[in-house]
């Protein structure tokens, strides 16, 4: 029996309960997976008494950094990107890890993106750090365009091999010319860039949001011929890693990814 939940605030839009319960049902595993509103500063109190009977938790904002101070063990990836989206029990301890980073890698692999000369990341928050860590050594150079220069040190710490630079929040023609563009900004954050896109695009865009669906930038990119990954791809692939952790089961990931993507799209289209 798996008992788990996705925690965060706001949480009512989350598709994680749909994906997790669908996957466990497909695997024949009894489960209880829900969405629970837990705001900033509330995680420690919430976790009291949850040592028994709970398998683990998926974490969304604003808890991805807060959990690092509460877990018994923080895995090396989560420590490097100072963000964890997964908390699970193992050997009597709470383990914090990041399937955001591994989810980005799996999503890119699913579209055949293994390496490139340059990637651009829009934003510099927790998801952006996971993306930077995932792209490290995959691309030669990472450019971060953000409104928050105070986040530069945390972003630099995520990159060990690739070179990285930071630019102010404004449109640059290079956005459509990089091998990969990733938008990690919050709701409507990057929609203004759509007005500046060229008429023809042939590079890959990864939009990590799935609400609204699709974002203006994602729709504009596809209209101009660009290839794309979207927030459902990330949600599914990071979710697959959580499902493996919570269930202890292995399965056909490609088939399960397609199955869960269909489930998610049915609620959005």
Q: Which residues are designated catalytic? A: 64
Radius of gyration of the chain, Cα coordinates, nearest whole angstrom: 18
The DSSP element (H or E) to which 238 belongs, if any, is helix 231-247
| CA pair distance 230, 227, nearest whole angstrom | 10
| CA pair distance 107, 101, nearest whole angstrom | 10
| CA pair distance 198, 9, nearest whole angstrom | 37
Which of 104, 65, 105, 55 lies closest to 85 in space, CA to CA?
Answer: 65
Which position has the token pair 């799935």?
210
Q: Residue 174 carries which DSSP code?
A: G
| CA pair distance 127, 178, nearest whole angstrom | 20
| CA pair distance 89, 53, nearest whole angstrom | 10
């Amino acid at each position: 029996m798996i008992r788990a939940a996705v925690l965060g605030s706001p949480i009512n839009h989350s598709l994680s309960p749909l994906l997790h319960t669908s996957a466990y049902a497909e695997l024949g595993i009894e489960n209880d997976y829900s969405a629970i509103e837990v705001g900033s500063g509330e995680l420690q109190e919430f976790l009291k008494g949850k040592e028994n009977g709970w398998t683990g938790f998926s974490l969304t904002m604003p808890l991805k950094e807060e959990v690092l101070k509460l877990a018994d063990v923080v895995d090396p990836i989560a420590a490097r990107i100072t963000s964890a989206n997964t908390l699970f029990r193992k050997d009597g301890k709470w383990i914090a890890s990041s399937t955001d980073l591994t989810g980005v890698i799996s999503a890119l692999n699913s579209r055949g993106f293994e390496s490139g000369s340059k990637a651009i990341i829009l934003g510099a928050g927790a998801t952006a750090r996971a993306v930077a860590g995932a792209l490290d050594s995959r691309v030669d150079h990472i450019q971060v365009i953000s409104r928050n220069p105070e986040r530069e040190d945390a972003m630099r710490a995520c990159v060990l091999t690739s070179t990285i630079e930071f630019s102010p929040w404004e449109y640059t023609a290079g956005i459509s010319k990089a091998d990969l563009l990733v938008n990690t900004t919050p709701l409507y954050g990057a929609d203004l860039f759509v007005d500046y896109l060229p008429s023809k695009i042939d590079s890959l865009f990864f939009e990590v949001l799935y609400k609204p669906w699709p974002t203006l930038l994602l729709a504009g990119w596809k209209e101009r011929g660009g290839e794309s990954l979207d927030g459902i791809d990330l949600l599914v692939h990071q979710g697959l890693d959580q499902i493996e952790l919570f269930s202890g089961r292995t399965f056909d990931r490609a088939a399960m990814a397609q199955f869960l993507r269909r489930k998610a799209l049915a609620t959005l289209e």
